[in-house]
Amino acid sequence: MTTGPAGDFDVVTGAFSYSGAAIASELQAAGRRVRTLTGHPDRAPAGAAIEARPLDFTDPAGLAESLRGARVLFNTYWVRFARGHVSHEAAVAQSRVLFQAAAEAGVRRIVHVSITHPGADSPYPYFRGKAAVELALADLGLSHAVLRPSILFGGNGVLINNIAWLLRRMPVFAVGGTGQYRVRPIHVDDLARLAVRAAAAAETFVLDAVGPDRPTFLELVRHVRDSVSSGCRVICVPGPLIPPAARLLGLALRDTLLTTEEYEAMADGLADTDGPATGEISLMQWITDHQATLGRTYANELDRHFRSDKDSGHQ
């Protein structure tokens, strides 16, 4: 990509990963040129027409250089869980570095992907960290929009796919507690459309990015099971049994399936909202439509973000 006049391209973090890929493709469909900041430039699909620059927080000047001339920064950067030197606290500090680089580079607006119910006093480090990042963005003084999804589905998403993968293979699937806590996932393409619209708006705002369906977790798991024609029994077990069970499965799969925090936050209702839907695609219909392919292969989070491509088999 050659650099043209200021503002004729946008920067998206993680355009070869999940939500960043959806945002990049929505931007390209609208005729925008896209540059990405990524730790995985080698994962660019053939013919992607996206220039990759390093998402290197140890080089703020390099980040600013990569952002110079951009109209909007779409920020999807975050880490799902702490592991090794990766932590939510570090991700907060790194997000600040990125925002400051954007301000220094003269980026006009930031569209930031957060989470439903971030909270400075949250018992959950993920949600506390997300609140700290939103605050850092507000303190920056740049025009911005914050989109808060609860759970993403569609594309090569992990959660629904891996529930289906387990249901296809296990005799029993355990749901924690009563399973009556609701979830409000949004399709990743709906999130991308919201992001591109948010980029074009002038005002600073915060919006929950949530889909039209709001099943209980038990309803969701049963619907996936029926859709993939699995004979798996879905049973409710005391909530505290879920994290150790997920850890055991994770050992077998060389992955982190579900952290204690992720389970507890969902059981606490943090993946639900009671406002209007801002996405259009029905989760339950999407599951039905993808019954033939859902959960055929396992999506490994550690391979995606914590292991080198050589170790994980990615090429």
Ligand X SMILES: NC(=O)c1ccc[n+]([C@@H]2O[C@H](COP(=O)([O-])OP(=O)(O)OC[C@H]3O[C@@H](n4cnc5c(N)ncnc54)[C@H](OP(=O)(O)O)[C@@H]3O)[C@@H](O)[C@H]2O)c1
Applying CB under 6 A, the residues found at the interface with ligand X are 13-14, 17-20, 38-40, 55, 76-79, 86, 113, 115, 149-152, 159, 305-306
Nearest distance from C-beta of residue 314 to ligand X, angstroms: 11
Q: Residue with the closest Cβ to ligand X?
A: 14
Nearest distance from C-beta of residue 231 to ligand X, angstroms: 28
The residue among 232 and 265 lying less far from ligand X, judged by its C-beta, is: 265
The residue among 18 and 99 lying less far from ligand X, judged by its C-beta, is: 18
**Could you tell me the strand order of the sheet in which 70-75 lies?**
51-54, 33-38, 9-13, 70-75, 109-113, 143-149, 205-209
The residue among 159 and 294 lying less far from ligand X, judged by its C-beta, is: 159
Q: What does the alpha-carbon distance between residue 92 and residue 133 come to, in Å, rounded to a whole number?
A: 6
Nearest distance from C-beta of residue 238 to ligand X, angstroms: 25
The residue among 14 and 212 lying less far from ligand X, judged by its C-beta, is: 14
The one-letter amino acid code at 120 reads A
Q: What does the alpha-carbon distance between residue 295 and residue 161 come to, in Å, rounded to a whole number?
A: 5
- CB crowding 233-254: b at 16 or more within 10 Å, else e: ebeeeebeebbebbeebbeebe
The residue among 37 and 242 lying less far from ligand X, judged by its C-beta, is: 37
Strands 152-153 and 186-187: parallel
Nearest distance from C-beta of residue 130 to ligand X, angstroms: 7
**DSSP class per residue in 62-130:** HHHHHHTTEEEEEE----SS-BTTB-HHHHHHHHHHHHHHHHHHT--EEEEE--SS--TT-SSHHHHHH
DSSP state of 240: G
Task: Give me 6's structure tokens.
Answer: 């200021």
Nearest distance from C-beta of residue 14 to ligand X, angstroms: 3
The residue among 109 and 304 lying less far from ligand X, judged by its C-beta, is: 304
Nearest distance from C-beta of residue 114 to ligand X, angstroms: 6
Shortest CA distance to 180 belongs to which of 216, 210, 214?
216
Nearest distance from C-beta of residue 308 to ligand X, angstroms: 12
The residue among 69 and 301 lying less far from ligand X, judged by its C-beta, is: 301
Nearest distance from C-beta of residue 233 to ligand X, angstroms: 26
**DSSP class per residue in 170-235:** -SEEEEETTS--B---EEHHHHHHHHHHHHH--S-EEEEE--S---BHHHHHHHHHHHTT--PEEE
CA 165 from centre of chain? 20
The residue among 118 and 176 lying less far from ligand X, judged by its C-beta, is: 118
The residue among 13 and 162 lying less far from ligand X, judged by its C-beta, is: 13
Nearest distance from C-beta of residue 144 to ligand X, angstroms: 14
* Whether the Cβ atoms of residue 11 and residue 66 lie closer than 8 Å to each other: yes
* Whether the Cβ atoms of residue 77 and residue 14 lie closer than 8 Å to each other: yes
